[in-house]
Structure 1
Amino acid sequence: MNRTVLRVEWYRWVRTRRLLALLAAFVLFGFLSLLGAKYLPDLIGQSADIKLLRVPDWRDGLQQYVKNTGLLVAAVAMILAAQACAVRSTEPIGIYYLSREVSPVRLYLPRILVAASVIAASALVGATVALYECWALFGSYPLGTGVGSLAVQGIAVVLFAVFAAAMAARIGTAGLAAAITAGVYVCCLLLSTVPAIQPWLPTTALQPTIAASGFSFADAAKSLLPLALATALALTVALTTPIRAIRATA
């Protein structure tokens, strides 16, 4: 693959400030989520109607982080990835690309790879901030459990974003691709009320449970496998559909 094409896509993320927005979102929630969990007793201490069952600990801090990033920041990553990979035949730049390129792999794969790399790096920075903040606020904790849980969430965020990017490449519009991905997310949330299938849902990987008992590779695989298969299918369709077919449906 031509490095120049990858460099162009990287500059797209930098110059449009998508990279800055995504990185800021991860870092911001890395700080605020842990701070909110730590000082929650002080925030509600003056209320006579609200009583905490226990004093928040490191699990609550990391759990708050994965809840926030698994919902809000994952949505931001999904939308930005879809925007980066949508090439519309009704826009001048889209006409330029679609009239000169015949291979969907050459046109879309660099965009998807750069989007996945940027999101993965941003998730890593956010997780590092959260793990450090957890140690600074709550003291020592089982690092392996924290790292494992945040790694699962990071992989899930990347897969969801790549799914949205592949949908945008196939459909040609970022808005519709994001709406479809959001619909899948909402359906998974509704299905998560059924205990038998809840461990297999992608939303379980996006918001993993931080347990004192430790990190389970088997549970992580259950929640990531369906998402990985759906993402692989979306990528296959996006990268094997001829450019002219994509233009005809855009």
Structure 2
Amino acid sequence: MERPDILFDESYCDQCACGEGLDFQFSFAFQPIVDSTDESVFAYEALVRGLQGEGAWSVLSQVTERNRYSFDQICRVKAVKLASKLGMDTMLSINFMPNAVYKAEYCIRTTLAAAKNYNFDTRKLIFELTEGEDLSSTDHLVSIIKAYQGMGFSTAIDDFGAGFSRYNLMTASPPDLLKLDMGLIRDIDREPNKQAVVNGIITMMSELGGRIVAEGVETVEEYAWLKGRGIRLFQGYLFARPGFETLPRPYFPDVG
């Protein structure tokens, strides 16, 4: 897929890779999103970590309104660079901050430059929105998702069902992937109310043409129930914990 050369800014990409614009540094852990149909890795999600593997909060607590744009841009570059270094040949899911994206077509330029510099196929990029992020305008988010999809990227909404469910977004611009919040997943095999909600979401995404990722899966019973409802994509400790600067190999339990 061809994209305008004007979007590439390799010098700025190199600056981002060095962490210019921030007074703190960070790295990533990667957790697989698995496909249960053939027991393969569909994607790895890049999860921000401190330089010694400290949790995400140690980094995110330093993000302010003033440095949010730089942090968002640097995250993308560093994730692509590390994924390429590790030889990742699956999809790569990168979390993004909608409030840091003033115009999708321009804010994507450093990501494209990083992919070009580090020889990473842009068709393997997923941009993942954390659903609970405070947004002043749903229209702004819709415009980002439509722009990313128009450029050939996949999009995902994380933590769906966590209390900020944006059904207006689902009608205006459905994402390619919808990640169920772990609060819905926990003990779903024995909680009828959760089962009813998830069954409804499964029907909705099927009719919208998107796919569901069940994240936060920790027990074989949860996995068996969700798989039995036709969900194929999973993420959680049952399969693999995040690996700091590594690509963990997943475990697949036998559920018949």
TM-score (normalised: structure 2): 0.28
More helix by share: 1
Between structure 1 and structure 2, the one with the greater Rg is: 1
TM-score (normalised: structure 1): 0.28
More strand by share: 2
